[in-house]
Chain A
Amino acid sequence: MTLLPEPTACLLLAAGLLAFSGLPGLLLRQPAAGQWIAAFVAVFASLLGESAVFQLLAGTAGAAYQLDWPLPFGPAEISVDHLSTLFLIPLFLVTGCVALYSLSYWPARDKSNAGRLTFFLGLFAAAMVLVLLARNGVLFLMAWELMALSAYFLLTAEQQDSEVQRVGTVYLLTTHTGTMALFVLFALLRGTVGSFLFPPTHTLSVALPAATVLLVAALIGFGGKAGLMPLHFWLPGAHANAPSHVSAMMSGLMLKMGVYGILRTSSFFTTLPPWLGWLLLVLGAWSAVNGIALAASQRDLKRLLACSSIENIGIIFIGIGLALVGMQTNAPILTTCGLFGAFIHIINHGLFKSLLFLGSGALIHGTGSREIDRMGGVAKRMPATSLLFLIGALAICGLPPLNGFVGELFLYVGAINDGINAPLPLAALAAPVLALVGGLAVITFVKLYGMIFLGSPRTAAAAGSHEAGGLMIGAMLVLAVGCLIGGMAPLLLVKLVAPAVSWYGGSNGDLAHQIRQQVPVMPLTALNSLLVALILALSAGYLLRLRKLPSSTGPTWGCGYLAPTPRMQYTGSSFSEMVVNLFGALVAPLRRRPALDMLFPPVGSSFCYAAAELVLDRVLTPIFSWIGWAFSYIRRLQHGQLHIYVLYIFATLFVLMIWAH
C-alpha cells in the first residue's frame, strides 16, 4: 500500500486511465488489439481504484485537491469521503469484470461498433468516479451529464434497431429533464451558500426558504436517475435493449449514482424535514412492490431483470427512509439498521444484479433470444452459466446463505425494533412489505431460472445453445464468489459500510461493533456454514445411496398423457399468471384473447400477452400528443404572409411604446 500515492490521486489516476482506455481501440488499425489494451487498462485501473478504496477503508484520509479552473464557478474541489468510498467499492469491481467480459461478449472482430462501445464504456466508468469525487456543483453536473450521455451512446450501440432508438430517446429525454432539476438544485444551493462548492456536511438549516425546493429538486433529479417510482418508466426499456454488459453497469452502478445524489444532498442539512423520511419510505415501498410485480409479469429476460432493479432500488430507499424516520424520532437503532441495510444492499445489488445481467448476456450469446418462453433446458448445454446464474438468483431473492439476505436482515431488524419501541410503529410495516417483496421475488426468479434453464428446450435455438466463453464465465465467477463471501461472512460487509454509516448518521464509536449487539452477524456465519455443511453431508449421503441402489432413467411422468411435447410445458407467462392477476392494478398487462362464443376458439385466432408500461403508455404519451396538437395551432403564426410579418414589427413597436408609458 505504501508504494501507492494517496487515495484521491489513485482514484483520479484510475478515472483518467478508464476515460482514455478506449482511445487506442478507436485509433489503432486492428480494433481487436485496441480492445485488449482497453480491457487490460480497465482492469489495472480497477485494481488501482480498489486498492485506493481499501486504503480509505483502512483509515487513510484522502486528500482534497482544489483546481482553480478559469470557469466562473469558483474553484473545483475534488476529494473523497466515506460516502464516496461506499459507492466506489462495487464500481471498480464491476467495471473490471465487465471489461474482461466484453472481450468475448462484444469482440471487435465480429462487432463493428466495438471500438466506440469500449471507448464510451471507459468514459462512463470514469464519469461515475468523477461524480463521486466532485465537490463543486458545476463539476458534479458536468460529470453527471457526461455519465448520462455516455450511457446513452452505450445503450444505443445497436442504433439500427428501431426499438433501441425508441428506448434510447426516452432515456435521453428523461435524463436531460432530470438534469434540469439538478440545474435548479445547484443554482439554488449556490444562491444559498454563496459558492458552488458543496457546503460541509450537516451545516444547512432546514428552516432555509430554499430547503424544501432543494430537496424536491434532488428527489426529482436523482430519483429519476435511480429509477424510483413513478420516475422509473425509462428504466426497463433502456436496460433491456442495451448490450448486456452495459446493462450490468447501468443497473449495478449508474442507478446507485441517483441514490448517492440524494444521500449527498440530504447530508448537507443539519436536520431533515419530517416528510422526507416518510416520503422516501413510501416511495421505496411502492417501487419495491410495484417493481417486482412488474418483473413477475415480464416475458423478456432482461426487462425482468431491469424491473427487479426497480425493486432493489426500492429496498434501498426503504432502508434510507427508515434511517431518516429513525433520525427524527430519535430511534438510533432504526437509523443505524436502516443505513446498514441500505448501504449493504447497495453493494450487494451491485454484485448480484451485474452477475445476473452478465448471465443474461451469456444466455443471449448462447441462445440468441431474450424471450423467456422460447428457452428451456439450457442448463444442460450451459452448465457453468446455469450454476452462476442460480447463485445470482438466490442472492437477489435475499435467501441465505448468500449476501442478499444480509442487507434485508438489517432492514427487518430495524423495522421490527421500531415495532417494539415506537409509540405508533408505522415504520414497522416495512417488514411485512419486505416479506411480500421477498415472496414475489421468489416467484419471479423461480420463473426466470426454471423456465430458462430447466425443463426441455422449447425452441431449436434453445436446443442449440452453447456455453459462454471462458472470459465471460470468469467475470461472472468473480461476482458470484463475491456474493458467496458476502453471505458467508456478513461481518465483512458490515465493516465495509460501517464508515459510511457513521459518516452519514453522524454517530461515532465503533459502529461495526455496536451493531453486532443488534444484528446477529456471527450466528449468521455459523448457521450459514452449518447449512452448507448439512447440504454437503446430505448430498454425500444421497449420492452414496444412489451408488448402492439401482436407478433407471425414463421420460418425465406425463400423468397418463402419452405424447407430451416440450411446447406443452408450463410457460413463464402462465407460471406468473396467478400473481399477475392478484396485482393486476399495479401491473395491468395487455391481454388480447379471441372471443370464446363456441366450444373452441375459431381457427387462426391467437392469444397475445404483453407486459405494459403504465406511466409511459398511459400517461406521458397522451400528454405529449396533446401538447403537440396544441402547438400546431400556435404554429399558424408563421403563415408566410409578408405584410402581416411587417405588421408584427410595427405591433411590437406600438406595444413597447405603450409599455413605456
Chain B
Amino acid sequence: MLYALVLVPLIGALVAGLVPDNRMRPLVLPVVATFHLCLSMILIMSPLAPTAGGWFWLDPLGKIVLLCISILFTVCAYYGVGYLRYRQERSNRVLCIGLLVCLAAMGLVTVSQHLGLMWVAVEATSVSMAPLIYFNKNARSIEATWKYLLICSVGIALALLGLLFLAYSTYVAHQDATLLLSGLLGVAGELNPGWLHAAVIFLLVGYGSKMGLAPLHTWKPDAYGEAPGMVGAMLAGGLVNCAFLAILRVYQICLASGSAELLFFQQVLVGMGLISMGFAAVFMARQADFKRMLAYSSVEHVGILAIGLGLGKGALFGALFHLLNNGLTKGVLFLTSGNIHRSYGSKTTEVVKGVLTRLPWTGGLFMAGFIAITGSPPFSPFISEYTIVSSAFIEGRYLVAALFLLFLVIVFIGMALTVLPMVMGAPPDNIEPTDYRDGLLTVGPPLVALALILVLGIWPPAFVMRLLHDGAALLGVQP
C-alpha cells in the first residue's frame, strides 16, 4: 500500500507523458488524484506498522501531512482541468508530469522514516517543482525559477550536511552511524551534544529555507508570484508542509535527546517564527501584487507554524491543526487568485478591482479565503491560531503572545487594504475582455476546500481530531 502511494503518481506521470493531446492530458490529474485520495484515506484510517526494516511507516505526523497534501492535490487536480482549458496556447505536458512527480515525492516524504531518504524526497519535490514555476515561460518566471532553484538547492545542501552531522553524532557516540528515525530516537539520549547541536542548526536552516522562514524566505514571493495559481497552491500547501514535516522529525529527535537541546530548538523556532510574521506583516502592507501578497501571507503562516512548534505543550496541537488549515485555505486563495489573474489578465491591484461584480463566485471565495486566512471564525485557521495564542498566554509567554497578536493585526490591516479594494467596487471598464468565465471546474474545487475548512472550524470530524492528538502525543504532549 505504502509503495502505491509513490508508484501511482509516477505511473500517472508516465501516462501523462505519453498522452499526446493537450486537451486530454489534464484529465490524468483528477484520475490519479482521486485514486491517491482514496488510497491515502484508507491508509490514514488504518493503523499501520513500520515496514522494510523501519524505513517506511506512516505515523500520525505523516498521516496529517499526507491528508493535507492529498486533499489539496485533488482540489488542484480538478481545478487544473478547468484551468488548463484557458491555457491551451502552450503545452501542459511538463506541468502535468511535474505535478505528478511532485506528488509522488511528497508521498515519499510522508512515509519515509529514514532521514536520508526523506532528504532525497524533499530535494526531489523542489527539483520537480522548478519547471512548473517556469510554466509561463517569460523573463519574470525564469528569474523566479532560477532564484527558487538556487536558494532551495543551497538550503537543501545545508540540510544534507546537517544530516551528516547527525549521523556523525551517532557515530561518535557508538561507532555505528544511522539515520533511521527509530534508531535515532532510541539512542538520542547519548548522542554527542556538539554534533547534534550543529546538526539541528543546519537542518533548521536547510529545511527552513525550503519552508520559507524569514530571512530564508527570499525566493517565496518571486516563485509564488510568477507560478500559476494551482502551482502556487501546491507550493504553499504541499512543499511547505513537507519541509515542516522534516522539521517535526528534528523536533522529535531533540525531544528524545533531552531538555537542553529541545529548549534551544524551541527558542530558535519561536524567534524565527516571530521574525517571519514580522517580515510578512511589513511586506504585506500596500502590496501591489496580490499573488506576492499571498506569498508573504504564506511566510506569515510558516512563522505561525514555527511559533506553535516552539511553544510546545498545547500549542503543538494548534501547529499540527494549522498545518492542515493553512494548506487548504491557501488552496482556496491561490486557485481563486488564478481565476482573477485569468479574468483580468493582470495581477496588480491597480487593474484588478470589483472582482465581486465581475466574477461573483470567485470574488466571494477570495473574500472568504481572506477572512479565513486572517484567523476569523467560523473558519478553522481561527481555531488553530487561537489554540496557539491561548496556550502562549496559558504558559505565561506574554511577550510572544503580544507580538503574535500585534503582527496578526498588522497583517490583517495590510491584507485588508489590499484585498478589499480588489474585491469591492466597480471593475474598471478599460480592461481588455478575456474569455475566462466562472465555471464549475474553476470554482467548484476551491468551494470544496472552503467547505472543508468551514467544517473543520465548526465541527471537525472525530478522526481528524484523533489524528492531531496522536501527532501531538508523538511530539511529547501527554493526551
Beta-carbon contact of A168 and B424 below 8 Å: yes
Q: Provide the bound-state CA to CA distance between A642 and B405, in Å.
A: 32
Chain A residues near B396 (CB, 8 Å)? Answer: 191
| Nearest-CB residue, chain B, relative to A643 | B150
| Nearest-CB residue, chain B, relative to A172 | B416
Q: Would you give the 0/1 interface string for A125-150, flagging 1 where the beta carbon is closer than 8 Å to chain B?
A: 00000000000001001100110010
Q: Would you give the 0/1 interface string for A617-650, flagging 1 where the beta carbon is closer than 8 Å to chain B?
A: 0000000000110011011011010100110110
Q: Provide the bound-state CA to CA distance between A73 and B378, in Å.
A: 14
Beta-carbon contact of A645 and B314 below 8 Å: no
Chain A residues near B215 (CB, 8 Å)? Answer: 637, 648, 651-652
In the complex, 12 of the A-B residue pairs with CB atoms within 8 angstroms, ordered by the A residue number, are: A72-B314, A72-B318, A149-B371, A162-B425, A176-B376, A176-B409, A184-B401, A191-B396, A634-B283, A638-B221, A648-B218, A657-B201
Q: How far is the CB of B478 from chain A (nearest CB, A)?
A: 14
| Nearest-CB residue, chain B, relative to A652 | B205
Choose, from B81-89, B182-190, B384-392, the stretch at the interface: B384-392
Q: Is B357 an interface residue (CB 8 A)?
A: yes
Q: Provide the bound-state CA to CA distance between A184 and B392, in Å.
A: 10
Q: Provide the bound-state CA to CA distance between A180 and B376, in Å.
A: 10
Given A72-B387, A190-B390, A660-B201, do A634 and B282 touch, yes or no (CB 8 Å)?
Answer: yes
**Known contacts A177-B413, A660-B201; can you find 7 more A-B pairs with CB under 8 A?**
A70-B460, A142-B378, A165-B421, A190-B393, A191-B394, A631-B286, A645-B219
Choose, from B1-9, B35-43, B151-159, B325-333, the stretch at the interface: B151-159
Beta-carbon contact of B405 and A184 below 8 Å: yes
Q: Provide the bound-state CA to CA distance between A637 and B275, in Å.
A: 13
Beta-carbon contact of B413 and A173 below 8 Å: yes
Which residues of B (363-394) have their CB < 8 Å from a CB of A? 371, 374, 376-378, 382-383, 386-387, 389-390, 392-394
Q: Pick from B155, B412, B420, B462: contact of A649, CB below 8 A.
A: B155
Q: Is A563 an interface residue (CB 8 A)?
A: no
Chain A residues near B462 (CB, 8 Å)? Answer: 70
Beta-carbon contact of B218 and A645 below 8 Å: yes
Q: Is B309 an interface residue (CB 8 A)?
A: no
Given A70-B460, A659-B268, do A184 and B393 touch, yes or no (CB 8 Å)?
Answer: yes
Q: How far is the CB of B332 from chain A (nearest CB, A)?
A: 16
Q: Is A449 an interface residue (CB 8 A)?
A: no
Q: How far is the CB of A72 from chain B (nearest CB, A)?
A: 6
Chain A residues near B141 (CB, 8 Å)? Answer: none
Q: Pick from A69, A142, A159: contact of B356, CB below 8 A.
A: A159
Beta-carbon contact of B197 and A180 below 8 Å: no
Q: Pick from B357, B377, B417: contact of A146, CB below 8 A.
A: B377
Q: Is A656 an interface residue (CB 8 A)?
A: yes
Chain B residues near A190 (CB, 8 Å)? Answer: 390, 393-394
Q: Provide the bound-state CA to CA distance between A112 and B222, in Å.
A: 40
Q: How far is the CB of A318 from chain B (nearest CB, A)?
A: 31
Q: Is B361 an interface residue (CB 8 A)?
A: no
Beta-carbon contact of A71 and B376 below 8 Å: no
Q: Is B211 an interface residue (CB 8 A)?
A: no
Given A169-B416, A645-B147, A660-B201, do A652 and B216 touch, yes or no (CB 8 Å)?
Answer: yes
Chain A residues near B383 (CB, 8 Å)? Answer: 71-72
- For A69, A70, A628, A651, the residue with the greatest tally of chain B CB atoms inside 10 Å of its CB is A70
Chain A residues near B177 (CB, 8 Å)? Answer: none
Q: Provide the bound-state CA to CA distance between A172 and B283, in Å.
A: 21
Q: Is B209 an interface residue (CB 8 A)?
A: yes
Given A149-B371, A156-B424, A645-B151, do A653 and B201 touch, yes or no (CB 8 Å)?
Answer: yes
Chain B residues near A657 (CB, 8 Å)? Answer: 198, 201
Chain A residues near B377 (CB, 8 Å)? Answer: 141-142, 145-146
Chain B residues near A640 (CB, 8 Å)? Answer: 222
Q: Pick from B283, B356, B390: contact of A638, CB below 8 A.
A: B283
| Nearest-CB residue, chain B, relative to A631 | B282
Q: Is B426 an interface residue (CB 8 A)?
A: yes
| Nearest-CB residue, chain A, relative to B427 | A160
Main secondary structure of the interface of A (DSSP, over half): helix
Q: Pick from B268, B282, B317, B392: contact of A635, CB below 8 A.
A: B282
Beta-carbon contact of A173 and B376 below 8 Å: no
Q: How far is the CB of B208 from chain A (nearest CB, A)?
A: 8
Chain A residues near B150 (CB, 8 Å)? Answer: 642, 646
Which residues of A (58-94) have their CB < 8 Å from a CB of B? 69-73
Q: Pick from A145, A160, A172, A649: contact of B216, CB below 8 A.
A: A649
Q: State the A residues within 8 Å of B (CB).
A: 69-73, 138, 141-142, 145-146, 149, 156, 159-160, 162, 165, 168-169, 172-173, 176-177, 179-180, 183-184, 186-188, 190-191, 627-628, 631-632, 634-635, 637-638, 640, 642, 645-646, 648-649, 651-653, 656-657, 659-660
Q: Is B57 an interface residue (CB 8 A)?
A: no
Q: How far is the CB of A109 from chain B (nearest CB, A)?
A: 19
Number of B interface residues in the complex (CB < 8 A):
66
Given A70-B465, A156-B424, A660-B264, do A191 and B147 touch, yes or no (CB 8 Å)?
Answer: no
Q: Provide the bound-state CA to CA distance between A566 and B295, in Å.
A: 60
| Nearest-CB residue, chain A, relative to B465 | A70
Q: Pick from B146, B390, B417: contact of A187, CB below 8 A.
A: B390
Beta-carbon contact of A169 and B356 below 8 Å: no
Chain A residues near B357 (CB, 8 Å)? Answer: 160
Q: How far is the CB of B401 from chain A (nearest CB, A)?
A: 7
Q: Is B304 an interface residue (CB 8 A)?
A: no
Beta-carbon contact of B202 and A149 below 8 Å: no
Q: Is B285 an interface residue (CB 8 A)?
A: yes
Q: Is B408 an interface residue (CB 8 A)?
A: yes
Chain A residues near B409 (CB, 8 Å)? Answer: 176-177, 180
Beta-carbon contact of B376 and A165 below 8 Å: no
Q: Provide the bound-state CA to CA distance between A163 and B460, in Å.
A: 39
Q: Pick from B155, B285, B356: contact of A628, CB below 8 A.
A: B285
| Nearest-CB residue, chain A, relative to B380 | A71
| Nearest-CB residue, chain B, relative to A71 | B383
Which residues of B (90-148) have their CB < 8 Å from a CB of A? 146-147
Q: Provide the bound-state CA to CA distance between A637 and B378, in Å.
A: 36
Q: Provide the bound-state CA to CA distance between A215 and B303, in Å.
A: 30
| Nearest-CB residue, chain A, relative to B216 | A649
Q: Is B204 an interface residue (CB 8 A)?
A: yes
Chain B residues near A660 (CB, 8 Å)? Answer: 197-198, 201, 264
| Nearest-CB residue, chain A, relative to B387 | A72
| Nearest-CB residue, chain A, relative to B392 | A187
Q: How far is the CB of B87 from chain A (nearest CB, A)?
A: 27
Chain A residues near B416 (CB, 8 Å)? Answer: 169, 172-173, 176
Beta-carbon contact of A176 and B412 below 8 Å: yes
Given A70-B465, A159-B425, A645-B218, do A653 and B286 touch, yes or no (CB 8 Å)?
Answer: no
Q: Pick from B154, B158, B408, B459: contact of A180, CB below 8 A.
A: B408
- What are the nearest 3 A-B pairs in CB distance? A142-B377, A187-B393, A187-B390
Q: Provide the bound-state CA to CA distance between A141 and B392, in Å.
A: 18
Chain B residues near A184 (CB, 8 Å)? Answer: 393, 401, 405
- For B154, B222, B377, B416, the residue with the greatest tally of chain A CB atoms inside 10 Å of its CB is B377
Beta-carbon contact of A160 and B371 below 8 Å: no
Chain B residues near A172 (CB, 8 Å)? Answer: 416, 420
Beta-carbon contact of B158 and A183 below 8 Å: no
Given A631-B282, A660-B197, do A183 and B147 touch, yes or no (CB 8 Å)?
Answer: no
Given A159-B425, A165-B425, do A180 and B382 touch, yes or no (CB 8 Å)?
Answer: no
Chain B residues near A632 (CB, 8 Å)? Answer: 286
Chain B residues near A651 (CB, 8 Å)? Answer: 215
Q: How far is the CB of A212 from chain B (nearest CB, A)?
A: 13
Beta-carbon contact of A631 and B285 below 8 Å: yes
Q: Pick from A142, A634, A635: contact of B382, CB below 8 A.
A: A142
- For B219, B268, B374, B413, the residue with the greatest tally of chain A CB atoms inside 10 Å of its CB is B413
Which residues of B (48-84) have their CB < 8 Å from a CB of A? none
- For A69, A169, A627, A652, the residue with the greatest tally of chain B CB atoms inside 10 Å of its CB is A652
Chain B residues near A186 (CB, 8 Å)? Answer: 390
Q: How far is the CB of A134 from chain B (nearest CB, A)?
A: 12
Q: Would you give the 0/1 interface string for B270-296, flagging 1 where the beta carbon is closer than 8 Å to chain A?
A: 000000000000110110000000000
Q: Provide the bound-state CA to CA distance between A661 and B38, in Å.
A: 49
